[in-house]
């Protein structure tokens, strides 16, 4: 248990009540601070294990300002607030807190929050140790005997990406003549895909002449110490400003070290994400400094030796895809927001940590959950999927935990639940935000005790499972309104992965559209040579409220209806643009949007039924083409009032 606690609260009565409660529970309260400045003094004097932190404090700095420092120092903290406003919750969320308590709260809620924060922090520390050991192992496995320095840089880039994420990594080292600086780097262009950048590439990108680029690189004065920069704190170094202007980066981490007394090597990590680097990253690099030095010295020495230069025709060709990437082969796209999510998957997969996948409907949460399982040590175990929204509330407990014979009317035989079926593997709880509060309590117990109680059973059964949950709901808002338990939220939210909506990764739309078009053209035995420019334009400017799932349906419909041309044309009116949706504030307008979507679905189903002459079931039936069950199709036809005369002439 995290024992040393600092209370940062400017209301004396509240702070004193917290102190008494914590002492009675066995915690060591190292002090009470009324401001962020006073808290800094306590932290420097006696580093706490955990901080209880009010958002509104005396002084110039808020609790959120202090939270950013605590995050850098890797100190766990729980927010306290008298305001459960969603905006406050969203601001607090950005600092990655270990808990959030809304005043007034019960003593039980406080102790549960402390327990959860301690659990999450300990899990995080253990994860860091394991990750660092794995990183050291990967670095030791690099064979520098046949690698040129730039090839070595690529090896390092691939290894470091999950730990120190970047969009561009630059390596600089002094040549033997001390007159020139060898500069090269790799720009991330996809998951585990990198474009090599040296002087020639810089000339092409910038339009500068060769001598200007040479002068810029030679005169670079990048710091000799490890340092983190943001755009607002950039120095006047020409290389840094060049990178900022041409690669649109927002944050930078510089890591230099010496090969010997005269020669030095610098690594520069650049990210398009703001505030991407912290003390955690610099501390990690400093701990790896010895391994880095040994490898780079050997690589440079090999390259400069006569034996290396004489290896006729030698050129190491990097495999463009690693084993890890193969597990993402059905996830299409290269947008930085998507790549960031995939990096998180790779980082968490080998641990038993609970994962919470967040994102709108149709963003691919199930595929990410499958990847978490496939990349894990549980990959040979079962992967059990449960859609919590699709199971009636009266059956959900039996479905999840199983029942004994005779446990209730209709229980004619013993039945295993999904949790027991997932033993030794992973259970994916989709739409977990739809669970009732009663079921949330039962799920929390499974997470805490690692055991289940079947309905009608007398003995709890231990299960070895990993839980991956997903929801399209805003759980902070659900917690604030009392529809989702705070303790369950923080148990599940140990490692959140957020998937971006399609409208925020529009550069991936064309690649996704081509993927689906090729897939359905092959499936329906139709010629395909591309998508028309007009259709590409329409797809790009549409808002995509249904995300990737909606795009897939639009492409499938277009392929089915496309006749007489191998160039795919849009067979659907995509009239709802992002700007139009943004202006539709009232309920009536939202209902209009829904009506248009329903009408689109109705037309689509009718077109498919016409294709198959009204046949619903069977291998050539409409249900197969639509990839749904015949009963589901019949239900949709009734709901959308589709009659025989609509599709049979």
Pick the CATH number of 504-647 from 3.40.50.300, 1.10.8.60, 3.30.479.30, 3.30.9.10: 1.10.8.60
- Average pLDDT, rounded, for the chain: 79
Q: What is the pLDDT of residue 255?
A: 83
Q: Collect all residues with Cβ–Cβ distance below 8 Å to 231 and sequence separation of at least 6.
A: 244, 250, 251, 274
Residues 481, 468: Cα–Cα separation, whole Å: 24
Phi, psi of 538 (to 5 degrees): -65, -40
Domain boundaries, the chain: 4-130, 142-309, 326-500, 504-647
Cα distances (Å, whole numbers) of residue 540 to 60, 386, 416, 535, 582:
45, 33, 47, 9, 17
Q: What is the pLDDT at residue 114?
A: 85
> What are the b/e assignments for 494-529, b being 16+ CB within 10 Å?
bbbbebbbbeebeebbeebbbbbbeebbeeeebebe
Given this model, what pLDDT does residue 229 score? 67
**Is the CATH number 1.10.645.10 carried by domain 326-500?**
no
CATH of domain 142-309: 3.30.450.40
What pLDDT, on a 0 to 100 scale, did the predictor assign at position 411? 66
Determine contact, residues 197/237, Cβ cutoff 8 Å: no
One fold for 326-500 and 504-647: no
Q: Could you give the CA distance from residue 343 to residue 361 in angstroms, rounded to a whole number?
A: 21
Q: What's the pLDDT score for residue 469?
A: 96
Top CATH class, 4-130: alpha beta
Coil/strand/helix, residue 230: strand
pLDDT at 85: 63
pLDDT at 306: 43
Query: Six-digit token pair at 614?
Result: 């009204």
pLDDT in tens, 350-386: 788 889 999 999 999 999 999 999 999 999 999 999 9
**The pLDDT value given to residue 426:** 96
Q: Residues for the chain: how many in total?
A: 649
Q: Which contiguous run of DSSP H or E holds residue 203?
A: helix 199-206
Which residues of the chain fall short of a pLDDT of 50?
1, 306-326, 576-597
Residue whose pair of structure tokens reads 């990959």 in the numeric block: 379
- CA angle 375/433/379 to nearest 5° reads 15
CA atoms within 13 A on the CB side of 370: 11
Chain centroid to Cα 87, Å, comes to 22
Closest among 55, 11, 5 to 34, alpha carbons compared: 11
Encode pLDDT of 492-541 as tens digits: 887 889 999 999 999 899 999 999 999 999 988 888 889 998 899 899 88
Of 309, 362, 634, the C-alpha closest to 503 is: 362
């Amino acid at each position: 248990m995290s024992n040393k606690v600092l209370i940062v609260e400017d209301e004396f009565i509240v702070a004193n009540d917290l102190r008494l409660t914590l002492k009675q529970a066995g915690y060591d309260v190292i002090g009470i601070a009324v401001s962020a400045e006073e808290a800094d003094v306590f932290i420097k004097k006696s580093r706490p294990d955990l901080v209880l932190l009010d958002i509104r404090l005396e002084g110039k700095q808020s609790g959120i300002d202090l939270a950013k420092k605590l995050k850098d120092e890797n100190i766990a903290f729980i927010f306290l607030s008298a305001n459960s406003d969603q905006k406050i919750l969203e601001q607090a969320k950005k600092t990655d807190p270990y808990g959030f308590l809304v005043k007034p709260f019960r003593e039980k809620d406080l102790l549960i929050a402390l327990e959860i924060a301690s659990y999450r922090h300990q899990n995080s520390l253990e994860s860091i140790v394991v990750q660092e050991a794995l990183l050291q192992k990967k670095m030791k496995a690099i064979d520098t005997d046949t690698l040129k320095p730039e090839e070595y840089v690529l090896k390092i880039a691939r290894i470091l990406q999950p730990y120190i994420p970047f969009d561009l990594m630059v390596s600089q080292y002094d040549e033997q003549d001390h007159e020139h600086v060898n500069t090269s780097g790799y720009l991330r262009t996809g998951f585990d895909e990198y474009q090599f950048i040296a002087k020639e590439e810089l000339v092409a990108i910038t339009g500068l002449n060769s001598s200007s680029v040479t002068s810029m690189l030679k005169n670079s004065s990048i710091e000799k110490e490890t340092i983190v920069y943001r755009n607002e704190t950039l120095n006047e170094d020409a290389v840094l400003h060049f990178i900022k202007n041409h690669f649109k980066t927002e944050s930078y981490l510089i890591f230099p070290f010496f090969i010997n007394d005269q020669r030095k090597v610098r690594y520069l990590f650049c990210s398009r994400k703001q505030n991407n680097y912290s003390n955690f990253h610099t501390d990690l690099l400093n701990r790896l400094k010895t391994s880095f030095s040994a490898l780079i010295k050997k690589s440079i020495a090999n390259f400069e030796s006569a034996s290396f230069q004489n290896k006729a025709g030698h050129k190491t060709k990097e495999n463009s895809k690693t084993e890890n990437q193969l597990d993402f082969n059905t996830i299409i796209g290269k947008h930085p927001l998507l790549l960031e999510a995939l990096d998180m998957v790779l980082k968490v997969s080998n641990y038993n940590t609970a994962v919470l996948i967040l994102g709108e409907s149709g963003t691919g949460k199930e595929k990410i959950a499958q990847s978490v399982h496939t990349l894990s040590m549980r990959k040979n175990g079962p992967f059990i999927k449960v859609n919590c929204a699709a199971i009636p509330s009266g059956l959900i407990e039996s479905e999840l935990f199983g029942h004994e014979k005779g446990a209730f009317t209709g229980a004619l035989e013993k039945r295993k639940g999904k949790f027991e079926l997932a033993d030794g593997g992973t259970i994916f709880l989709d739409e977990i935000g739809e669970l009732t509060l009663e079921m949330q309590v039962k799920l929390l117990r499974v997470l805490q005790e690692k055991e289940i109680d079947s309905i009608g059973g007398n003995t709890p059964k231990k299960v070895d499972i990993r839980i991956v949950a997903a929801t399209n709901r805003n759980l902070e808002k659900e917690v604030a309104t009392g529809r989702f338990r705070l303790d369950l939220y923080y148990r599940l939210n140990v490692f959140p992965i957020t998937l971006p909506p399609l409208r925020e990764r529009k550069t991936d739309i064309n690649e996704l559209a081509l993927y689906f078009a090729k897939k359905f053209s092959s499936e329906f035995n139709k010629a395909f040579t591309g998508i028309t420019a007009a259709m590409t334009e329409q797809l790009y400017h549409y808002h995509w409220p249904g995300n990737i799932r909606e795009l897939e349906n639009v492409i499938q419909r277009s392929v089915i209806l496309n006749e007489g041309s191998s160039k795919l044309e849009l067979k659907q009116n995509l009239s709802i643009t992002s700007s139009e949706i943004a202006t539709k504030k009232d309920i009536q307008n939202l209902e209009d949007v829904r009506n248009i979507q329903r009408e689109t679905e109705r037309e689509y189903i009718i077109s498919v039924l016409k294709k198959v002459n009204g046949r619903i079931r069977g291998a050539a039936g409409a249900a197969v083409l639509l990839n749904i069950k015949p009963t589901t199709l019949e239900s949709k036809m009734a709901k959308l009032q589709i009659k025989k005369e609509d599709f049979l002439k």
